Structure 1
Amino acid sequence: MDQPIPLAQKIYFLGIHPEKGGIRSGSVSAMHFVVIGTLLMDLYLEKKIKFEGKKVVVLSTKSDNELHRFVLGKMSQAKSPKKISTWISKLNYSQKYIRSEVQKGLVAKRLIRLEDKSFLFFKWKKPVVLNKQVMYRLISEIDNQIFKGTTAEDELIFLSFLESAAILRIIYQDRKKRKQARERLKQMMVKNRVSGAVADAIAASQAIAASVAVTAAASSVATS
């Protein structure tokens, strides 16, 4: 399959277990934040937005992509530019829709299929990998980009999200090799300020979400 895969679809695809289906356990908690972060970078690479410091400035709301139009529409309604971390947190409220659109894109490319699942009153769609060759090819490309180097902006940006998505440990199960890959990535990201800012914003948003969850749990215990 030679059709290019947007960053948001690529990161989600790599997070799916190739044999069992569903998002790998190590990536579940971070995946929705990372997908939103990579979605913003898709918009950046398409020159629909730009970054001024750590704030997002909308350049155009026109797009052939329905998900992109949705995100750009929300951003354009803001009275002033907001921080990347703010948008990641705000868009997290639309994570179900965003995930659905990312899945649709992968289904259209015949990379995954969706299985209807249910338990008691809960229903969801489980992603299952159809084209494992593409997944393994992507992993091989990532390995080459890390250890042989790359200057392509889209590749550098994508690499910056691997640690946040817990995908680095999937690619390098050997601890020593993973440590070497992590060091290589740190060196490469020094030259890639934009994606570094987004990665920081994802970490901040995850910390906020974790803090909210802990506070809510503590409040529930106190009032029970």
Structure 2
Amino acid sequence: MENSIPLSQKLYLLGIHPEKGGIVSSSYSAMNFLLSGAMLLELFKNGNIKFKDKRVVLIHTKTNNATHKFLLDKISAAKSPRRISSWINRFNMSNKKIREGVQKELSEKRIIRMQAKQFLFFKWESPAIMNKSLVYHLVDNVKEQIFRGTSVEEELILLSFIRPGKLLYRLYPDRQKRHEADKKLKNLLVDNPVSKSVEEAIQAAQVVAASIAVNTAVSATH
């Protein structure tokens, strides 16, 4: 079943605290940008868009995914191709819809459930993992790919989002192990020969990383 889970959903699952539920604090501020970037990569892998000169170029709008359709409608309404960073920031304005789309699909698969939370007058819903064995298996696979290496393109694309999403803190609570994983991950993404399409995808992920860094820095000053 893990192989049928798209990139955005895998990243969201990696960001959930396995026992307490909710998004781990290290990834909380990055998650919306992470999901927006992952959605762009899904559209890219599905052939809906391509990347040219760090811009998003629409190819076609055919899709059965409601969230993809929502984003493709926005892209098709643009008068000219816009930069990846521009779309990441624009999609962040619709972060609730994107996040709810991911949550809905994971809930329908019975991988997570949304639990009601309240503090004083504030109410919200927080994700909790239902299928823990699947998520633990996903985590183990990602950790193995980091330390043993991989040449599988889908895995390399997912790994390119780990550092910008601050997910190493979730994968490796131990500081020394996290430091080793960080070095392994950097070398893996630099040294591994990949196809032209995956190279473009990883470059797009790097743009996402830059957007996360800028926007989290801005948030920290307010």
Q: TM-score, normalised by structure 1?
A: 0.89
Where in structure 1 do 4 or more consecutive aligned residues deviate above 4 Å? 210-215
Match of 2:115 in 1: 115
For residues 167-178 of structure 1, the aligned pairs below 5 Å read 167-178=167-178
Q: 1:187 to 1:214 in 2, by over 3 A?
A: closer
Q: Which moved more, 1:97-106 or 1:110-119?
A: 110-119
For residues 130-209 of structure 1, the aligned pairs below 5 Å read 130-190=130-190, 191=193, 193-209=199-215
Q: 1:76 to 1:147 in 2, by over 3 A?
A: same
Q: 1:22 to 1:76 in 2, by over 3 A?
A: same
- Matched residue type, 1:201: V
Match of 1:59 in 2: 59
Q: Equivalents in 2 of 1:188, 1:144: separation in Å?
A: 12
Higher CA-based Rg: 1
Q: Equivalents in 2 of 1:109, 1:50: separation in Å?
A: 29
Task: Write out per-residue CA displacement over residues 17-46 of structure 1, whole angstroms, 9 at most, x where no aligned residue.
Answer: 111111111111111111111111111111
- Matched residue type, 1:70: F
For residues 38-117 of structure 1, the aligned pairs below 5 Å read 38-117=38-117
TM-superposed CA distance for 1:152, in Å, is: 1.7
Q: Equivalents in 2 of 1:210, 1:141: separation in Å?
A: 28
Q: Equivalents in 1 of 2:181, 2:216: separation in Å?
A: 27
Q: Percent identity?
A: 47
For residues 6-45 of structure 1, the aligned pairs below 5 Å read 6-45=6-45
TM-superposed CA distance for 1:207, in Å, is: 4.1
Task: Write out per-residue CA displacement over residues 36-82 of structure 1, whole angstroms, 9 at most, x where no aligned residue.
Answer: 11111111111111111211111111101000000111011111111
TM-superposed CA distance for 1:3, in Å, is: 5.9
Q: 1:155 to 1:115 in 2, by over 3 A?
A: same
- Matched residue type, 2:210: A
Q: Which moved more, 1:189-198 or 1:50-59?
A: 189-198
Q: Which segments of 5 or more consecutive residues in structure 1 lack a partner in the other structure?
A: 218-224
Task: Write out per-residue CA displacement over residues 88-139 of structure 1, whole angstroms, 9 at most, x where no aligned residue.
Answer: 0000000011110000011011110011223344322111110111111001
- Matched residue type, 1:79: K
Kept after mapping to 1: 8 A contact 2:165/2:209: no
Question: Secondary structure of 1:126's partner?
Answer: strand
Q: State the number of aligned residues.
A: 216
Q: Equivalents in 2 of 1:186, 1:211: separation in Å?
A: 22
Q: 1:175 to 1:195 in 2, by over 3 A?
A: farther
Kept after mapping to 2: 8 A contact 1:45/1:154: no
Q: Which moved more, 1:142-151 or 1:15-24?
A: 142-151
Match of 1:222 in 2: none
TM-superposed CA distance for 1:214, in Å, is: 6.5
Q: 1:109 to 1:214 in 2, by over 3 A?
A: closer
Q: Which segments of 5 or more consecutive residues in structure 2 lack a partner in the other structure?
A: none
Q: Equivalents in 2 of 1:118, 1:105: separation in Å?
A: 24
Q: TM-score, normalised by structure 2?
A: 0.89
Question: Secondary structure of 1:27's partner?
Answer: helix
- Matched residue type, 1:43: L
Q: 1:150 to 1:70 in 2, by over 3 A?
A: same
